Structures are given as structure tokens and as C-alpha cells.
Structure 1
Amino acid sequence: MTSAAVEANADGLIGPTHSYAGLSPGNLASSLNKGEASNPRAAVLQGLDKMKTLVELGLPQFVLPPHERPDIAFLRSLGFTGSDAAVLEAAWKDAPSFAAAACSASPMWAANAATVTPSADSGDGRVHFTPANLVTNLHRSLEHAQTKRALDALFPDPARFAVHDALPSVGHLADEGAANHVRLCAEHGAPGVNLLVWGREAWEGWDGPYPARQAHEASQALARRHGASGAVFARQSRTAIAGGTFHNDVVCVGALNTLFFHELAFEDTAETLAAIRKAAKGLFEPAFVEVSTADLPLADAISSYLFNSMLIQAPGGDRLTLICPTETEENPRSRAVAERIASSNGPIGQVRYVDVRQSMRNGGGPACLRLRVVLTEAELGATNPAMRLTDALHARLREWADRWYRETLRPADLADPQLLDESRSALDELTGILSLGGDFYPFQRDQAAKRPPLEA
């Protein structure tokens, strides 16, 4: 039975420590801009404006809060002691690589937050979430516990939502979340096909220049855990990984029945498309939009992030809209491909451009910043309304960011204990704005534990 449903987006709110530390091997933009000054205020405002674009198109949009950074608890686990400021100072002096990881604002890229299976596809009729363990990179492996708290806050009804713990944090089950997952369907509330793309086997010897971040066994475990119907497992192209495609969403995106992908997205394209057709039989007819290397070399696909665009259907629209970063428009090859596709009679009928340059300089486009969640009307009504973006919330968050975020930040500034205080003050206020409670962040729980008990 098909229920009416919509595809909502939950975007990571960019945090006050947004910087270019170059922590992700294989992410070419991150490496290229390492050490450059960032603009956290511009970054968060760009992200908020991108979210508002989706609201204006008529789609539900939610806000996921930044994580507490610097992660002092992580640094304490490494043996640093004293006040929080002393811990931060000692870590930057004695273990700067660990200190940099503890300061990363990487939770902003919510496409890596979790893998989501909608109720139409799950074994028990609930929406299932598994936060990604992100074990390939140290700074990202720190995220999953707080990500779970955020998802619990946004999706609080256990009768409708199942928010799991991350898979075990071992390389054999390395999981990068929805960045390697595409759901195809006839309509959002109908049963679909879940394409889960992996880069390596758990016990496979890997000798590529960059890590293959998603383990096949992790993808299989997620499908089993969620009871996901219509699962198709496809290998990511080794050539694409070697070229800097650290997640499959750098070369592939899909929505409804349409898969839009680069020629080098999959190790065996013919086999992958055949498996999708087989899984979709009787449900829908897949539409494949492939871009050749001749039309768009892999290097241009990566630098322009054409495929890291958001592919959506606006309410009332009969064709899909591709929301691209401005870098796609500025690259002649990618712009030509996007405009040619939109002017054809295919499933993609419009291209729009959004400015997320601060995120792009760290290798994260519009699609990196959002987690897609298909929700029925009843499920949508069971979400935390304080975390749903409205015009009023958008204006309030812009004002909040203007007050708390620095205009310029260099990686060396992350050692400033004043930044720690600024970030915590910003997050403390944010928990009230999003109705997250006064113990959402570790520093809030620590402060509460240190308060003297009230006298009787």
C-alpha cells in the first residue's frame, strides 16, 4: 500500500570552528585549501540561505545543530588534564594533529550523518536511521554519538522512528552514511530501490592512492538492520576513487525514478543498471541520465561538483530540478552539461545555482550539506517542530550567527581558548532556539554536574 509522502531535508548547521585544516585524504578541495583563512559567519549564512531555498520551493526543511567543538572530552581521553582551556593549549602543543581533529566542524556535512530507510521500504514500517561511524578519518569518527542525539531530538517518536547506534567502529564496517546511498522510486511513498555503493571489501587489500571509505559489509549490515527492501549493492569505481571521488555522491545523484551519474561512477556500470532494473521491476521504470567522460572529464566533475547537486521535485512540478553550486555554473564544461540536460525532454527540467563556496572549499557541495528523509504526513507531524526551518527561524538563526560567528578564522586560531568560550555560548543559546534541552551538549551536562545542589 502506498502512502502520500514527501522528501524532507535535514541540513547540518555549520559550526563556529569552520576552517580549512585539510584533514581528509582524497578530498582534493580540502587538501588544496589547507591552511587558508575561512569565514565561519559567511559559511553558516550560506548554508542557511541554501536551506531557505528549499523552503521556498515548498519542501520540508530541518536544521541539525553543530556538534560541540573543540571536543574537549576527546582530548581528555588522550590524557590531557586541567581546565578545558589548559587541555586545549596542551593538546595543540603536544598533539596538534589530534587537536585539529577535535576542532573540526565536519558534522556540517549531514549527507554523512546517517543512512535512512523510509517506512515504505523498512521491515517494520518505521523510518530507520543508522548514524555513520565514519572510521576512515579520525575527525569524523568523533561524530556519531552526538549525531544520534540530534536525530533522537528531531525524530523523537519510537513508534514511528528507529534511531540506531552506529555500526561498530572498525575498518571492516567502515560506513560513510547517505553519501553512498541513493533511493529510487515511482513516488516517495511507494516502495523503492535502495542503491548502496561501496568502495572495498572488509578484508580486501587496498593499494589505491586514497582510501576507499565504504565497506561492502557495512552496506549489507545497514540493509539487514533496517529490513530494507529492494537493496542493490554496487561497487564504486576504483578509477573514480583514485581521481578524488571520496564519496559516490561526488559522481552520482538520484531522485524518484531518475539516476543521474558520471560514466566513471561505478566499477561495472552495465551490471549496476541491470541490477537496478531487476529490483525495480513491477514498481517503476528507471530513468538513467549518464554523462560521459568526453563531455565532462572526471577532474571537471569533481571541481565543479555537478553531481553533488540536489536533485528534487518541487511540489506541483512535473520534472526534477537540479540545484547546483555556483562552481558548476562557472565551469564551462559542467554548465554546458547541466544546461543541455535541462533543455532536453528528459526527467530533469530545470537547473538552479546556490552559493555554498565556504563549504565547497572544503569539498562539500549542496548535497553534502543535507540528509534526505522521506516522511509521510503522520511522520512529518511527529518531528520536532522547533527544528523545522521557517522564515522566522531562518531570520532568528541569521541574527544568532551574526552575533556569535567570527568573520575570519585561520587553523591556528582554533587554539584560542576564547573561541572555545564563544562556541559554547553560541551552542548554549542554540539549544534554546531549537528546543533541544539544557543538557544536549557534553559541556552543558558537565556544567550541570558541577552546580551545587539546591537547598531543601
Structure 2
Amino acid sequence: MKSYEVNFDGLVGPTHNYGGLSYGNVASQSNSQQSSNPKEAALQGLAKMKALMEMGFQQGVLAPQERPDVAALRRLGFAGSDAQVIERAAKDAMPLLVASCSASSMWVANAATVSPSADSADGRVHFTAANLNCKYHRSIEHPTTSRVLGAMFADQQHFAHHAALPAVAQFGDEGAANHTRFCRDYGQAGVEFFVFGRSAFDTRYPAPQKYPARQTLEASQAVARLHGLSDDGVVYAQQNPSVIDQGVFHNDVIAVGNGEVLFYHEDAFLETDKMLAELDAKLGKRGGNFQSICVPRSQVTVEDAVRSYLFNSQLLSRADGSMLLIVPEECRGNERVWQYLQGLTSSGGLIREVKVFDLKQSMQNGGGPACLRLRVALNQTELAAVNPGVIMTAPLYDTLTQWVDKHYRDRLSENDLADPQLLLECRTALDELTQILKLGAVYPFQIN
């Protein structure tokens, strides 16, 4: 039976703004308080989805969240009508209003961790929504994320959904941004690779000194247990604390994997040789031939990697066995990174082609091509069981671009977030979107 890796890209929400909320994310911090363009951001993301679909890759779309999150503000003590809640938050606690308006759910690499049926004990595809508890503005996402994923993957015969882990520091979980999977074929048993920044209980593991390590070993282990993964199909690796302190807040900012290949920076991990040997041994037992591509620091520094998001790219397998790398425009703008990529593709190795996409609106907030997509490996039967409304087609692309043109603003500043009309615009847009994507009632305003 044929199997696929389907990329479900996050649709950028109507409140896309540069709030500078993510400490440890260099791009988010450096562009704080600039005016954003939600319409352009959404259209840039849709253009990438359409392009991958036209290249023959299976492509889906994941809906944004309701923002501002008035219910979250109410839990923090703001009362009155929705408009009054927003007005009072803007007057007394503007940072909380900005957090409640964040469109960060567009980076759906953080939405959940996904294990395909070939790896799980019960033969179903497993989803665990990420608690994202390191950052308040992201910690409020997982209830809606769970409902949206449940509406997309509703058939319990094929799909299993798990609630987010306990929202405490010991179980900080950032989803697929710190998880990848290696396999010979998407439909065959593979090796799931969990990368953590620190251990909550074991002091033998060093921790970064400047920026927080968002993913814990204990969270990764809990997700593996929930998904019914066997020990011989899992590898845990620690991210290098020094690169976290240089702005590598997730592993997908310093490494990306697909199929049998890991593309990584020389400084990405601790005990790299031991980790590579374990991946090679475990994948070999499952019929795979593990291969790695190390980018040396002498050619691309960690700073270059962070500024260009070279590793926050999509590594895609093509029918001829070669691989395609989808990178942001910022890679072409970095001389050392672009020189490295030209050499990489001309060497006749595994990665034969690089395609560049303009994702400036997302990049300025700290998310590149890989941040914008959640990978789900599905066989033909499972793909047929997915809600068809979320699978990208040419007509759906046209409908969504028209929807964006109709509902999105082309400029948004911090002061605009205090406008109660923005909430009404967002709800009107999302109500229409749930009908387009056939999701049913997934947003609080539709349920309450």
C-alpha cells in the first residue's frame, strides 16, 4: 500500500502581528513592535502550499485560532462584554492583550507530535497536542489545536488523539519542532527522533545559561509512551545548550530530517557521534540506510543558521529518490549560506535542488518553511479517512485566497489590537473558514 508524508501547513491568522513575545527567538525579539501585514503573510503561506501541491506533494491546511482570546483574558480577571474586556486589558495590561492576540498558531510544527501507524503499538496514527507551556501566548493554543486536529482526523479506527501533557515546566513540550522520523518508506516502521533541551529531573544533563530550554527529556519520553512506541524505534538526543543560548530555540532551527537523511549543523547536538551511531543501528534493523549531512561551522556559523533559517527548511523526497530543500529567501540573502547551498546541490549528493520562497512576514516573527508545517505520514487508507475539506486543491487555494482578500487587514500595529472590531472580523472570518474546510464547530465562540 502506498504511503505519503503529508504537509499540513498552518494558515496565518487575521491577527498576525509582531508582538516580540518569544524570548530566545532572535527574529521575534528584533522585529518587535513593527507593523505587520496579515494579508500578505497569509497569501505568502498559501503560495507555498500551492507550489508544493503543484510539484506533486500531498498538501493540507491547518486552520488558525480565534484571536484575541477573550476567554483567556477573562481567566486573568478582565470582566464585562467582549469589547469591555479588550478595552480594559488594553488600558491596564497591554502586554496581556498582545499575548492574547498572537497568531503564533500558524507555526504548526509546534501544534503536536505525530507518530504514524507503522510505529505505534495499536496500528493507529497518534497525535499529542503540544502544551507549549514555556510561553504564555502559546500555552493557550492547545485546547483549540486539539479540536481542530480532531475535526481533521476524526476516524477513531485510524487516528488516536491525546491531550496535552501537564502544563508544568517539567513536561515542557514543543511538538514536532523537536521531533522527526527516519524510515526507508513512510509506510514502514521507522525510528522516531526526539530532541530535548534539558532534563527536569536528571542533573547530569547540562542546561543553557541565557535562554530557556523549552523541551524536556521527560516530555519526549511521555509522548513516546502515549504513542505506544517501542524502545528499539526511538532515539533521544540532547540539543547543544550553547546553540540554544545563540537563539536556537527549537531543534528545527539547527537540524532537519526526512526519510533516511539527517541534515544538521556541526554544533547542533551533544554527543553527536553516539547519537548518529544509535540512529544508524536502529534504522538499520528496520531496513533503512541512515545517512547524515553535517554542515561544518567553518562554512556556516550558528549565527548564519539562525539569521537565514537554513535548517528551518523542508526536506522533501522526490519520486526519483533525490531530495528537494525548500528554504526561505533569507538563505539567498546570506552569502555564506547561499554559497554552501550552491556547493551542496552541485556535488551530486542526496540534496539535488533548492527552491526559495518569500515568507518574510513569517520569518520576521521567527518562523520559516519548516515551522509552518506539521508532517503526518499516512497510508492510502488513512489519507482517504482524513477530512477532505483540509486537503489542498486548486479550487481550495482559489477559495482561500479570496477568503483572505475579503477578511484580512493589510496593516496591523499594536494599537490596532485594542480595536474590538478586530475580534468581530476574526470571528466572522473563522466562522466562514470552518464551513470552507468542513471542520464544524471548533472555536469557542461557535461552541459557547
TM score, norm. by length of structure 1: 0.95
Name the counterpart of 1:218.
219
Aligned-pair CA distance for 1:284: 1.2
> Could you tell me how far apart the structure 2 residues matched to 1:49 and 1:156 are?
27
> Could you tell me how far apart the structure 1 residues matched to 2:423 and 2:7 are?
29
Give yes or no for contact 2:208–2:244 (8 Å, CA) kept in 1.
no
Give yes or no for contact 2:247–2:306 (8 Å, CA) kept in 1.
yes
Name the counterpart of 2:339.
336
Name the counterpart of 1:357.
360
Q: What is the SS of the residue equivalent to 2:311?
A: helix
Q: Which of 423, 429, 442 matches 2:444?
A: 442
Q: Which of 312, 319, 331 matches 2:316?
A: 312
Name the counterpart of 1:299.
303
Q: What is the SS of the residue equivalent to 1:373?
A: strand
> Could you tell me how far apart the structure 1 residues matched to 2:396 and 2:374 are?
19
Name the counterpart of 2:412.
409
Name the counterpart of 1:454.
none
Q: What is the SS of the residue equivalent to 1:308?
A: coil
Name the counterpart of 2:200.
202
Deviations 1:284-339 (A, max 9, x none): 1111100011000110011011100000013x232000010011111111111112
Name the counterpart of 2:47.
49
Aligned: 1:431 with 2:431: no
Aligned-pair CA distance for 1:206: 4.8
> Could you tell me how far apart the structure 2 residues matched to 1:155 and 1:140 are?
22
Q: Which of 139, 146, 149 matches 2:147?
A: 149
Equivalences, count: 442
Name the counterpart of 2:170.
172
Aligned-pair CA distance for 1:4: 2.4
Moved more, 17-26 or 186-195: 186-195
Q: Which of 287, 291, 305 matches 1:287?
A: 291
Aligned-pair CA distance for 1:100: 1.3
Aligned-pair CA distance for 1:342: 1.3
> Could you tell me how far apart the structure 2 residues matched to 1:206 and 1:188 are?
34
Moved more, 274-283 or 425-434: 274-283
> Could you tell me how far apart the structure 1 residues matched to 2:36 and 2:237 are?
36
Q: What is the SS of the residue equivalent to 2:275?
A: helix
Q: What percentage of residue pairs aligned between the two structures are identical? A: 52
> Could you tell me how far apart the structure 1 residues matched to 2:207 and 2:300 are?
28
Large movers: runs of 4+ above 3 Å: 203-207
Moved more, 354-363 or 269-278: 269-278
Aligned: 1:388 with 2:380: no
Change in 2 beyond 3 A, CA 1:292/1:207? closer
Give yes or no for contact 1:325–1:354 (8 Å, CA) kept in 2.
yes
Give yes or no for contact 2:208–2:245 (8 Å, CA) kept in 1.
no
Aligned: 1:419 with 2:416: no
Please, which runs of 5 or more residues in structure 2 have no aligned partner? none
Aligned-pair CA distance for 1:191: 1.1
Give yes or no for contact 2:208–2:241 (8 Å, CA) kept in 1.
no
> Could you tell me how far apart the structure 2 residues matched to 1:34 and 1:365 are?
17
Give yes or no for contact 1:21–1:411 (8 Å, CA) kept in 2.
yes
Give yes or no for contact 1:287–1:347 (8 Å, CA) kept in 2.
no
Q: CA RMSD, aligned part only?
A: 1.1
Name the counterpart of 2:265.
262
Deviations 1:65-86 (A, max 9, x none): 1100000011111121111010
Aligned: 1:37 with 2:35: yes
Aligned: 1:114 with 2:112: yes
Q: What is the SS of the residue equivalent to 1:338?
A: helix
Q: What is the SS of the residue equivalent to 2:273?
A: helix
Residue identity matched to 1:151:
L
> Could you tell me how far apart the structure 2 residues matched to 1:317 and 1:81 are?
59
1:65-76 aligned at under 5 Å gives the runs 65-76=63-74
> Could you tell me how far apart the structure 2 residues matched to 1:274 and 1:84 are?
56
Aligned: 1:104 with 2:102: yes
Change in 2 beyond 3 A, CA 1:285/1:5? same
Deviations 1:229-251 (A, max 9, x none): 41000000011101000000001
Deviations 1:97-130 (A, max 9, x none): 2211111000000000000000111111000000
Change in 2 beyond 3 A, CA 1:368/1:405? same
Change in 2 beyond 3 A, CA 1:206/1:313? closer
> Could you tell me how far apart the structure 1 residues matched to 2:52 and 2:120 are?
26
> Could you tell me how far apart the structure 2 residues matched to 1:431 and 1:193 are?
35
Q: Which of 242, 248, 252 matches 1:249?
A: 252
Residue identity matched to 1:272:
M
Name the counterpart of 1:451.
none
Q: Which of 304, 316, 327 matches 1:324?
A: 327
Aligned-pair CA distance for 1:271: 1.4
> Could you tell me how far apart the structure 2 residues matched to 1:307 and 1:23 are?
22
Name the counterpart of 1:77.
75
> Could you tell me how far apart the structure 2 residues matched to 1:167 and 1:279 are?
27
> Could you tell me how far apart the structure 2 residues matched to 1:206 and 1:93 are?
38
Aligned-pair CA distance for 1:415: 0.9
Residue identity matched to 1:37:
S
TM score, norm. by length of structure 2: 0.97
Residue identity matched to 1:42:
E
Name the counterpart of 1:452.
none
> Could you tell me how far apart the structure 2 residues matched to 1:440 and 1:225 are?
24
Please, which runs of 5 or more residues in structure 1 have no aligned partner? 447-456
Residue identity matched to 1:224:
R
